Amino acid sequence: MDGSGDQPLSIARRRFLRAGLTGGAALAGSLAAGRAAAADDPAITEIQDWNRYSGDGVDAHPYGMPSKFEAEVVRRNVPWLTADPISSVNFTPLHALDGIITPNGLCFERHHGGAAVIDPAEHRLMVNGLVDKPLVFTMDDLKRFPRHNKIYFLECAANTGMEWRGSQLNGCQFTHGMVHCVMYTGVLLKDILNEAGIKPAGKWVLAEGADAAAMTRSIPMEKALDDCMVAFAMNGEALRVEQGYPIRLVVPGFEGNMWVKWLRRLEVGDEPWEQREETSKYTDLLANGKARHFTWTMEVKSVITSPSPQAPIKHGKGPLVLAGLAWSGNGTITRVDVTTDGGRNWKTARIDGPSLPFALHRFYYEMDWDGSEMFLQSRAMDEKGYVQPTKQALRAVRGSNSIYHNNGIQTWYVNKDGAAENVEIS
């Protein structure tokens, strides 16, 4: 990107070009995170209220909530992005979370007709179409199939979509927060389909939601018979209403749109529903006017969650932990590299915690910050050997018309005060 004006980067943030780079952060030999004891620090010298008085009893919080000091850690929407909150999205506060599991109450929500509130006793799942025996299941019926527990990420195809046209949103919650990762409990879609008996001509499974949008997507039979699940629990408890209570489809590694919530019907067919109806929403428009179709797999991606615009460095120079997330719809993440100087030098980060296929991976990079400005990036690689591309490389192939499937490398500019900003560099 040469700044000649023929590409759509955000002008306001163009001032951060390579010319402005200083040395970046050096790796230190000694990491000392502690501080010298201050004799007059009241946090040490005074007896605090919580130490003086007893706290709430065990009957105060039948369903526990986070500490009131975590009140800022919430899903947020961007009101100008959509016309109405009924058909909209809010974002997971990735900058404030750690590990690989997203707490249920913080999983981003994306729905087209609001969140349906369904009494599980009244809910039915119908299987029809090209099957030997059309069937209807109650929730109790579903729970008689063998159960499976799997940790998977769900990423909306539109995640990072605003960034196709340059740096737009200032915070990884907004640029990357249409992703969550929970442990699902449910039954295999193939067990349900096999009970109905798939006719030889059955090549697609149409999944339909019971919400006001009656959200509908087709799943290729090969995937349906592989690892798809009908889930009724997340992180050990019943699905949340926003996530499709009482059941949702789980389509590991595939775009979130296919994970139909409030699932009420599975119709086996010989062609995808998308071919019968107008569904241009879910294609990727290229520069030449053609569109990519059925781009289901979420390609390898990563982001540094801290520091980031909503999580600046507050402690000054010295030991600094870069934390981030990586994921791939092709399986596991095998490596994540990070750079503090906009890609001149890359170091391999440490993946910590479980490395599971189609799940978020947590990475850290411990460093000694010398207080100079940084251009932070992370670049993930997956088990199929795919490497996360730069945004420039992505645009060279896909143009910038699409809002879907942007897995380009993200840059945070960190100034000498530790504040971070969403930028693009050449």
- Alpha helix ranges (H) inside 130-224: 139-142, 172-176, 189-196, 221-224
User: CB of residue 180 vs ligand MTE: minimum separation in angstroms?
Assistant: 6
Using the minimum distance from each CB to ligand MTE, give the nearer residue, 274 or 424: 274
Q: 275: closest CA among 294, 297, 290?
A: 294
Residue 262 binds which entry of ligand MTE, Co ion, none, CB below 5-8 Å type-dependent: ligand MTE
- Distance in angstroms (rounded) separating the CA atoms of residues 328 and 154: 10
User: CB of residue 320 vs ligand MTE: minimum separation in angstroms?
Assistant: 31
Using the minimum distance from each CB to ligand MTE, give the nearer residue, 13 or 261: 261
User: CB of residue 395 vs ligand MTE: minimum separation in angstroms?
Assistant: 23
Using the rule CB under 6 A, which residue among 160, 243, 388, 390 binds ligand MTE?
243
DSSP 377: E
- Other beta carbons less than 10 A from residue 26's beta carbon: 12
- Distance in angstroms (rounded) separating the CA atoms of residues 129 and 270: 9
- Distance in angstroms (rounded) separating the CA atoms of residues 219 and 205: 5
User: CB of residue 231 vs ligand MTE: minimum separation in angstroms?
Assistant: 10
Cα torsion angle, 387, 388, 392, 396, sign: positive
CA distances from 163 to 78, 310, 316, 407 (A): 14, 17, 30, 10
DSSP 184: E
User: CB of residue 304 vs ligand MTE: minimum separation in angstroms?
Assistant: 22
| Residues 200-219, interacting with ligand MTE (CB under 6 A) | 209, 211, 213, 215
Using the rule CB under 6 A, which residue among 106, 142, 156, 311 binds ligand MTE?
156
Residue 298 binds which entry of ligand MTE, Co ion, none, CB below 5-8 Å type-dependent: none
User: CB of residue 84 vs Co ion: minimum separation in angstroms?
Assistant: 16
- Distance in angstroms (rounded) separating the CA atoms of residues 251 and 272: 16
Q: Does 154 bind ligand MTE (CB under 6 A)?
A: yes
User: CB of residue 119 vs Co ion: minimum separation in angstroms?
Assistant: 26
- Distance in angstroms (rounded) separating the CA atoms of residues 52 and 54: 7
Instruction: Give the number of residues in contact with ligand MTE, rule: CB under 6 A.
Output: 21
Residue 109 binds which entry of Co ion, ligand MTE, none, CB below 5-8 Å type-dependent: ligand MTE
Q: Does 261 bind ligand MTE (CB under 6 A)?
A: yes
Structural contact between residues 219 and 207, judged by C-beta atoms closer than 8 angstroms: yes
Q: Which stretch binds ligand MTE (CB under 6 A): 38-46, 137-145, 260-268, 345-353?
A: 260-268
Tell me the backbone φ, ψ of residue 194, rounded to 5 degrees: -65, -30
- Structure tokens belonging to residue 247: 């059941």
Residue 404 binds which entry of Co ion, ligand MTE, none, CB below 5-8 Å type-dependent: none
Structural contact between residues 77 and 85, judged by C-beta atoms closer than 8 angstroms: yes
Q: Which stretch binds ligand MTE (CB under 6 A): 104-112, 192-200, 313-321, 363-371?
A: 104-112
- Structure tokens belonging to residue 8: 């759509």
Q: Does 262 bind ligand MTE (CB under 6 A)?
A: yes
Using CB under 5 A as the criterion, which residues of the chain lie in contact with Co ion when the complex forms? 110, 156, 256-257
Amino acid at 322: L
Q: Does 107 bind ligand MTE (CB under 6 A)?
A: yes
Using the minimum distance from each CB to ligand MTE, give the nearer residue, 111 or 176: 111
Using the rule CB under 6 A, which residue among 259, 296, 327, 412 binds ligand MTE?
259
- Distance in angstroms (rounded) separating the CA atoms of residues 407 and 87: 24
Using the minimum distance from each CB to ligand MTE, give the nearer residue, 108 or 137: 108
User: CB of residue 316 vs ligand MTE: minimum separation in angstroms?
Assistant: 37
Which residue is closest to ligand MTE by CB?
209
- Structure tokens belonging to residue 145: 């199939």
- Structure tokens belonging to residue 402: 């699409």
Query: How many residues in the chain?
Result: 426
Using the minimum distance from each CB to ligand MTE, give the nearer residue, 259 or 365: 259
- Distance in angstroms (rounded) separating the CA atoms of residues 323 and 321: 6
User: CB of residue 255 vs ligand MTE: minimum separation in angstroms?
Assistant: 7
| Residues 310-349, interacting with ligand MTE (CB under 6 A) | none
Using the rule CB under 6 A, which residue among 106, 205, 231, 260 binds ligand MTE?
260
Q: Provide the pairing of β-strand 125-129 with 135-137.
A: antiparallel
The greatest distance separating any two alpha carbons of the chain, rounded to the nearest whole angstrom, comes to 79
- Alpha helix ranges (H) inside 256-380: none
| Residues 110-149, interacting with ligand MTE (CB under 6 A) | 110-112
- Distance in angstroms (rounded) separating the CA atoms of residues 423 and 15: 9
User: CB of residue 158 vs Co ion: minimum separation in angstroms?
Assistant: 6
Residues making contact with ligand MTE (CB under 6 A): 107-112, 154, 156, 180, 209, 211, 213, 215, 242-243, 256-257, 259-262
